[in-house]
Amino acid sequence: MAQATQTAAGAVRTAAGPGRRRSAWQTFKRDRQLWIMILPAIVVILLFNYVPMYGIQLAFRDYDFTKGLTGGEWRGLYYFRQFIDSYMFADIMRNTVTISLATILLGFPAPIILALILNQVRWKRGKKMLQTVVYMPHFISIVVLVGLLNVLLSPNTGIVGYLLRSMGYEINLLASTSAFVPVYVLSDIWQHCGWNSIIYLAALSTVDPQLYDSAKIDGAGKWQTMRHIDLPAIAPTIMILFILSMGGVLTTGFEKIFLMQNTLNLPVSEVISTYVYKIGILSNQFSYSAAIGLFNTVINFFFLFVTNQIARRVSNISLW
Amino acid sequence: MGWILRKRTPGDVLFDAFIAAACIIVFLIVAYPLYFVVIASVSDSTMVATGKVWLWPKGFSLYGYNEIFDDTRIWRGYRNTILYTTLGTFVNLLFTLPAAYALSRREFRARRFLMFVFVVTMFFSGGLIPTYLLIKGLGMTNTMWVFIFPFCVNVYNLIIVRTFFETSLPRELYEAAAIDGCGHFRFFWSVALPLSKAVISVIGLYYAVAHWNDFFTALVYVRNNELQPLQIVLRDILLSNQVFQSGAGTGGQAGGYAQRYADQIKYGVIIVSTLPILLVYPFIQKYFEKGVMIGSVKG
Amino acid sequence: MKRAWSLILAFLLAASALAACSGGKNNDGGGGASDGASGGSGKRVKLTAIMTKHPLTKPFAEMEWLQAAEERAGVEIEWEEVTADWGQKKGALLSSGDIPDLIIGPNAITDADIAMFPGLFQDLRDLIESYGPNVKAMFEAKPETRVLAAQMDGSIYGLPKYQRFWPATVTRQYINQQWLDNLGLKMPTTWDELFDVLVAFKEQDANGNGDPNDEIPMDFAPVGTGGFGFFHPTVLLGSTGITLTNASGQGYFMEDGAVKNFFVDERYKRFVQFLAKCYAAGLINSEVFTQDYTKFQSVARGEGNTAKVGFTWGWEVTDRFGNTLAPQYTSMAPLRETADSDVQVSWDYTYDALNYGVNMVVMSARSKNKEAAMRFINELYDPVVSMQVLFGSIGPNIKDNGDGSYEVLPPADPAMDPGTWKWTSTWADNGPMYIADDLVLTLGTDMQSVGAQTEPLMPALNAIDKENDVLPTMFIKYTPEDNSTLALNNTNLMNLAMAKFSQWVTAGGIEQEWDSYVKEAERTGLPQNLEIIQRYVDEYKRNQ
């Protein structure tokens, strides 16, 4: 009891005295409950993420099994240069950026729009049914999804191919270089939009119904309600998730592209991850692939960092 | 206050119509391929591959499901996966929620520094080999604990929970409680958690599904068949029947009979793998219902 | 909150309930020591092993010959049977040094792995001397197996296999004889004659079902982005005189002792032009570059008695077309490029890839029971045991005639084909083996028919100058640096060449783009690769 009073009093005292700085130890004591709460997470992250981090230097060294991961000959930026100078560098960078940017640009707003639409549905049972159906594709494994695409989009025998042909388009969706990115991105949205909208729906569910009532009293239409109540309610979530997605500008995933690749779409479908896979098939390229991976993540992190700084200036919402 | 009736403006009617149309389109686009998966899982796969199946199953056969459920490893896989998922998610939440709460308190001095330290790990990693050596050094390889503790805090999920705590637990709430002598522990347990059912359900679902779908952990760290989760078994069955994906080559891998139904197994595997998760979602969904925050902050 | 707890409780209860469920096939491959002959057979050394098996293969505990072999060698092996994702598992396994006593499987541990992890694998030379008489016998009878096994410094880490019975080529050429008869056409012998026949197939309702548009005159297996492989139209290059070796996936072939690459050869240009002409005339399946292998095989099985495909390549007639339609097809001899071409036609020489294998079994240098492990390996190389490794146990799969000769039995399930039966019953081609040339074994119907169907190709195959026109890359071991250079350059080259191949066939343009394409190919590092391979081949020939 006494301690609590002192804490409250201490808070008041600090608020009252603007020039007074507390020592680090006193801050620590004040926040000690918070430190205890965060300690398990710190231990886990330090142990499983930071301890193995010494492996990053494999990008700068040759791999020497007899001397362990840290004993190989130091090569500095050799493997990075090898990648940047390589014959395929320009193509795979261009393809990777195209695919991942298209995925972000189209794939980011889609779940938000879906959540806003679903939130407006009044018919409870219909809403539940639609919600359940819409998140189901998320669970289809990639192997099966690509198999589905091959069957449904086949120009001669697939239903989508049939529909397109009856509308007059002669395009082979599985083959043409211009169709690869749209098919990839749209099937991605189809698969994950529902699942990704769950978080926005949850955010929308925390909106105080009193706000809706007062809006009605003020005569606001549904569209205005959505603009002025729903959107601001999920704005922090949108902001944070957007910053995080900018950390994926060079990330495309491997399995789906690898399965969708064929010789006809190869000029646009060869990306960093498939390249790393191919060079490793018959020759062990530990250092080279570590270097490529590090190159990849440094660029990703840079984009995340910049986006975070901008977000902090522009709004009050940021990662750190 | 109750519902206050107001005249519907023309704008409202248009809006409602748009919403209804959008819902129907979304439903059809999503539901048809799913329906296709179901009928393909009981149809002759040569007919599926040549596009003869699009509305009704053709060449009905339960061969695919027989093959899958006949395999005793499936039942052991289900048992293991259920165990890893429930225990694992529980540990996930145990570690993540308090940490997210701590990071959401603006007065916590170290919060920006710690957040940065956490986010860095989303990008930079030592790679598979050092991680494998570490886990082996901790004695977790080939045990069930490798599914529970390593990486049990997912920073992405942590950030989402933190954002929720920040925006829906305003400072006034805590200060009001603090005056009455409530510390962070009490506040977290009695106030924060009950008010955050929506986000806890969502993050719990995210973690649970990640456990459910994980096959990489078992692939690399586990050799003992008794510990294998469902996804490994299914992947094995799936790949066994994709034999015909790569060339026939040496020795004549014709297997005409098996090939006729190879794709059935492919589609049947999805159903078998996702049915349990589909059954869970309705329970979670009720936490998204409106009205969770009523009356918490007065004035 | 209470709701959540009851949910968790429900799940845990469900989990324990499921634990009680069992029944049906037990596909438990490994994890426990193999049972069968373990009761009271004296003290047996315990070993651990990994094998990369084919997905169809049954659990090892059910293989009679294996249990017997383990018993004779005095070992009891705990098997880990890997059917998928070996590449992903391997990296972590090798780096941690955490490997079992034996690793078995076709090139499961590659030469690159052996070079990258020195000291991890056991040099087997001394062990072979003391405990491996069967292996020594194989080296003596077939010296090329020793070449396959030896690293550049003479040490032996991985043992090879020799299967003896496989044909000289993996790809056979088939045409629908019934369609030819229906339309009164002769068997084509040149590319132009083939073109005319295919046009007739397309326009004249060759399968006689009333629909003139459902025939697919030519189809071939899906082409991968990493290069060509089996059952691809590249065998047509034989008509121009080029001999492919083991399908020459990345384009490398040998001519008069010189290492070349067909991707930049004028003859390849003519070959692509021919295919483009066919495609433009609608003679090739329009989905040929987008369909997957399952669909490719499904299409060839037609509908009932009506065939869909006229001309194609495959392993064997029933495998390619199914039992119903197989009788309609005959296998063909290689075509000549033009009527007045006097070049000796050739084909794809795949004898080496089909009959030999490298690094089928390796041993851990940290094993505590090397002699026992070697004794087990030795059992595998006994020709009678090898025969069972390949075809299955004596009894259900092989008949012992009692006079020293053996016979492969047909499958126990009459609906199953011999190939699937072999793969289901035993390790088959994935295991180490030595099928001695003097072993008397009557083969099953599938192998016999493959032999019969290869007959039309034999004149061309026999005419191949094995010394100067077959690339011996299977027998060559590269240094890790050279291997890495080759791999990186080949990845570049394949990215360019395969995309261009499919683009030129479907959309044309080869005349305009050929010259710049050849220049581009040089930038991928191709000349460097040719120089490296030539160096190694010359060295190999000098040491012969």
Residue B1 three-state SS: coil
- pLDDT value, residue B61: 79
Residue B297 has pLDDT above 80, yes or no: no
Could you give the CA distance from residue C239 to residue C346 in angstroms, rounded to a whole number? 6
Partner residue opposite A37 with nearest CB, options B12, B175, B184: B184
Chain B interface mutation, best of C21, C298, C427, highest count of B Cβ atoms under 10 Å: C298
Distance in Å from the first CA to the final CA of chain A: 34
Is B288 an 8 Å CB contact of chain A?
yes
What would the two tokens of residue A19 be?
């020039």
Tell me the mean pLDDT in the region A122-146: 84
The distance between the two most distant Cα atoms of chain A, rounded to a whole number of Å, is 81
Q: C291 vs A154: CB contact, 8 Å cut-off?
A: yes
The mean pLDDT of C188-200, rounded to a whole number, is 95
Helix (H, G, I), strand (E, B) or coil at C314: strand
The distance of A278 to chain C (nearest Cα, Å) reads 7
Given an 8 Å threshold on Cβ–Cβ distance, is B224 in contact with C31? yes
Q: pLDDT category, B292, cuts 50, 70, 90?
A: very low
Residues 35-54 of B with CB under 8 A from A: 36-37, 40, 48-52, 54
pLDDT at C11: 53
B255 and B34 Cβ atoms separated by less than 8 Å: no
**pLDDT over threshold 90, residue A63:** no
| Interface contact C55-B132, CB threshold 8 A | no
Distance from CA of C94 to the nearest CA of A (A): 9
Nearest residue of A to residue C94, measured between CA atoms: A65
Question: Residue C365 is encoded by which pair of tokens?
Answer: 């240098």
The answer, yes or no, to whether residue C85 has pLDDT greater than 70, is yes
Confidence at residue A310, expressed as pLDDT on a 0 to 100 scale: 93
Which ipTM value was assigned to this complex? 0.84
Give Rg (Cα) of chain A.
26
Whether C56 and B253 lie within 8 Å, measured CB to CB: yes
- Chain B residue at shortest CA distance from A209: B291
User: Distance between CA C174 and CA C217 in Å, rounded?
Assistant: 12
Q: A touches which chains (3+ CB pairs under 8 A)?
A: B, C
How far apart (Å, rounded) are the C-alpha atoms in residues A34 and B114? 12
Residue C60, class by beta-carbon neighbours within 10 Å (0-12 exposed, 13-18 middle, 19+ buried)? buried
CB contact under 8 A, A133 and B107: no
Distance from CA of C47 to the nearest CA of A (A): 25
Out of C21, C98, C419, name the one closest to residue B253 (CB): C419
Q: Residues with Cβ < 8 Å from C145, sequence gap 6 or more?
A: C138, C139, C160, C162, C356, C434
Percent of chain B past pLDDT 70, that is, above it, reads 85
- Burial (CB < 10 A; 0-12, 13-18, 19+), residue B139, is exposed
Residue with the larger pLDDT of the pair B243 and C321 = C321
**pLDDT value of position B252:** 34
Q: What is the mean pLDDT of residues C258-263?
A: 96
Q: Which residues contact A85 (CB under 8 A, 6 or more apart)?
A: none
Facing A282 at nearest CB: one of C224, C487, C525: C487
| Strands across the sheet containing C216-218 | C216-218, C309-314, C172-176, C329-331
As a whole number of angstroms, the distance between CA C484 and CA A23 comes to: 58
Mean pLDDT of B111-118: 93
pLDDT at A20: 55
Helix or strand holding residue C167 (H, E):
none
Q: How confident is the model at residue B247 (pLDDT cuts 50, 70, 90)?
A: very low
Q: Do residues A130 and B27 lie in contact, with contact meaning Cβ atoms separated by under 8 Å? A: yes
SS3 category, B51? coil
Quick one: A40 exposed, middle or buried, by C-beta within 10 A (0-12, 13-18, 19+)?
middle
Q: Do B152 and A45 touch (CB under 8 A)?
A: no
Å between B60 CA and nearest CA of chain C: 17
Kindly list the residues of chain A whose beta carbon comes within 8 Å of any beta carbon in chain C.
Answer: 63, 65-66, 69, 86-88, 91, 147, 150, 154-156, 172, 174-175, 261-264, 266-267, 270, 275, 278-279, 281-286
Q: How far is C315 from chain B (nearest CA, A)?
A: 6
**Can you list the alpha helix ranges (DSSP code H) found in C36-103?**
64-73, 86-95
Q: How far is CA C266 from CA A308, C342, C347, C519, in A?
A: 56, 17, 18, 14
CB-closest option in C502, C523, C525 to A264 = C502
B-chain CB neighbours of C92 within 8 Å are 128-129, 132, 220
Q: To 5 degrees, how large is the angle CA C237–CA C242–CA C245?
A: 95
Across the interface, whether the CB atoms of A236 and B163 are under 8 A apart is answered: yes
**Phi, psi of C391, deg, nearest 5:** -110, -15
Burial of A205 (0-12, 13-18, 19+ CB in 10 A): buried
Dihedral angle computed from the Cα positions of residues C211, C216, C217 and C223, in that order, rounded to the nearest 10 degrees: 180
Contacts of residue B50 in chain C, CB cutoff 8 Å?
295, 298-299
- On chain B, the residues whose CB falls within 8 A of the CB of A290 are 127
pLDDT of residue C427: 94
Closest by CA position to B232, among listed C460, C80, C418: C80
Chain B residues within an 8 Å CB radius of C323: 256
- Band (pLDDT 50/70/90 cuts) for residue B259 is low
A262 with C290: Cβ contact below 8 A: yes
- What is the rounded CA–CA span in Å between residue C407 and residue C404? 10
State the pLDDT at residue A69. Answer: 78
Percentage of chain C exceeding pLDDT 70: 92
pLDDT tens profile B74-86: 888 889 999 999 9
Subunits next to B (3 or more Cβ pairs <8 Å) are A, C
C134-181 pLDDT tens trace: 999 999 999 999 999 999 889 999 999 999 999 999 999 999 999 999
Residue C302 is classified by DSSP as -
Question: Looking at the predicted structure, is the pLDDT value of residue B215 above 90?
Answer: no
The answer to whether C129 and C152 are in contact (CB under 8 A) is no
Q: Which residues pair with C51 in a beta bridge?
A: C81, C104
Average pLDDT over residues A108-129: 88
Contacts of A81 in chain C (CB under 8 A): none
pLDDT at B159 over 50: yes
Which among A147, A264, A267 has CB closest to C290?
A264
Measure the CA–CA gap between C108 and C106, rounded to whole angstroms.
5
How many CB atoms are closer than 10 A to CB A149?
22
How far A173 CA lies from chain B's nearest CA (Å)? 16
End-to-end CA distance of chain B: 15
C-alpha distance across the termini of chain C, in Å: 79
| B-proximal residues of C, 419-478, CB under 8 Å | 419-420, 422-423, 428-429, 446, 450
Tens of pLDDT, residues A214-254? 888 888 888 888 888 889 888 988 999 999 999 988 888 88
SS3 C346: coil
With CB atoms and an 8 Å threshold, state whether A263 touches C525: no
Chain B nearest CA to A98, separation (Å): 20
Extract the tokens encoding A51.
């301890």
pLDDT level of residue A1 (50, 70, 90 thresholds): very low
Chain C residue with the nearest C-alpha to that of A155: C287
Q: For residue B49, give the nearest of C19, C295, C419 by CB distance.
A: C295
Q: How does the average pLDDT of chain A come out, rounded?
A: 85
| B/C interface, count of CB pairs below 8 Å | 166
pLDDT at residue B72 tops 70: yes
SS3 string of chain A?
CHHHHHHHHHHHHHHHCCCCCCCHHHHHHHCHHHHHHHHHHHHHHHHHHHHHHHHHHHHHECCEHHHECCCCCECCCHHHHHHHCCCCHHHHHHHHHHHHHHHHHHHCHHHHHHHHHHHHCCCHHHHHHHHHHHHHHHHCCHHHHHHHHHHHCCCCCCHHHHHHHHCCCCCCCCCCHHHHHHHHHHHHHHHHHHHHHHHHHHHHHCCCHHHHHHHHHCCCCHHHHHHHHHHHHHHHHHHHHHHHHHCCCCCCCCHHHHHHCCCCCHHHHCCHHHHHHHHCCCCCCHHHHHHHHHHHHHHHHHHHHHHHHHHHHHCCCCCC
Those of residues 390-429 in C touching chain B at CB distance below 8 A are 415-420, 422-423, 428-429
Instruction: Tell me C413's DSSP state.
Output: S
Interchain contact, C501 vs A172, CB within 8 Å: no
Q: What is the pLDDT at residue C36?
A: 38
In C42-61, the residues whose Cβ lies within 8 Å of chain B are 54-56
pLDDT confidence of residue A19: 47
Could you read off the pLDDT of C326-382 as tens digits, one per residue?
999 999 999 999 998 889 999 999 999 999 999 999 999 999 999 999 999 999 999
Does C498 contact A266 at a Cβ distance shorter than 8 Å?
yes
Tell me the C-alpha distance between B202 and B171, whole Å: 24
Q: Which residues of C touch A (CB under 8 A)?
A: 87, 95, 110, 112-113, 116-120, 222-226, 286-287, 289-292, 295, 480, 483-484, 486-488, 491-492, 495, 498-499, 501-503, 506, 523-525
CA of C501 to nearest chain A CA: how many angstroms apart? Answer: 8
* Span C286-313, average pLDDT: 87
Nearest CA in chain B to C292: B245
**Position B38 pLDDT exceeds 90:** no
Cβ-based contacts of A207 with chain B (< 8 Å): 290, 293
Residue with tokens 């999805």: B270
B79 vs C18: CB contact, 8 Å cut-off? yes
- Name which residue leads in pLDDT, C422 or A140: C422
Instruction: Give SS3 for C329.
Output: strand
Q: Which residues of B39-56 are buried (b: 16+ CB within 10 A; e: fewer)?
A: bbbbbbbbbbbbbebbee
Quick one: pLDDT at residue B257? 45
pLDDT tens sequence across C480-531: 899 999 999 999 999 999 999 999 999 999 999 999 999 999 999 999 999 9
Identify whether the C-beta of residue B51 lies closer than 8 Å to the C-beta of residue B58.
no
Q: What is the mean pLDDT of chain C?
A: 89
For residue C9, the model assigns a pLDDT of 54
SS3 C318: helix
pLDDT class for B134, splitting at 50, 70, 90? very high
CA distances from A110 to A105, A114, C499 (A): 9, 6, 33
Q: How confident is the model at residue A133 (pLDDT cuts 50, 70, 90)?
A: confident
pLDDT tens digit sequence for C442-473: 998 888 889 999 999 999 999 999 999 999 98
